[in-house]
């Protein structure tokens, strides 16, 4: 569970990765966060999630 202090808990439901996508992000992160939302560039049909674990 997660959420902001004083607010009701937010349920965490893990998902099994099935698709690999290439994203575009800001060049730097502030406070361990990107300054803007990452943008999806393309689906990587040539890769599977298992390729990223190696």
pLDDT band at 46 (very low <50, low <70, confident <90, very high): very high
Do the domain assignments include residue 11? Answer: no
Average pLDDT on 42-53 reads: 93
The model's pTM is 0.56
Do the domain assignments include residue 5? Answer: no
Which residues have CB under 8 Å from 29's CB, separation 6+? 35
Do the domain assignments include residue 29? Answer: yes
Do the domain assignments include residue 3? Answer: no
Do the domain assignments include residue 40? Answer: yes
How many domains, the chain?
1
Whether the per-residue pLDDT at 34 is higher than 60: the answer is yes
Do the domain assignments include residue 12? Answer: no
26: three-class secondary structure by DSSP = coil
Do the domain assignments include residue 38? Answer: yes
Whether the per-residue pLDDT at 36 is higher than 70: the answer is yes
Rounded to an integer, what distance in angstroms lies between the CA atom of residue 18 and that of residue 38?
19
Q: Which DSSP symbol is given to 28?
A: S
C-alpha distances (whole Å) from 12 to each of 6, 16, 28, 40, 46 are: 18, 13, 27, 23, 30
């Amino acid at each position: 569970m997660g959420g902001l202090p004083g607010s009701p808990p937010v349920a965490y439901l893990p998902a099994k990765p099935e698709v690999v996508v290439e994203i575009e992000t800001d060049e730097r992160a502030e406070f361990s966060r990107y300054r803007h939302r990452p943008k999806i560039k393309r689906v990587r049909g040539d890769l599977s999630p298992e390729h990223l674990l190696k």
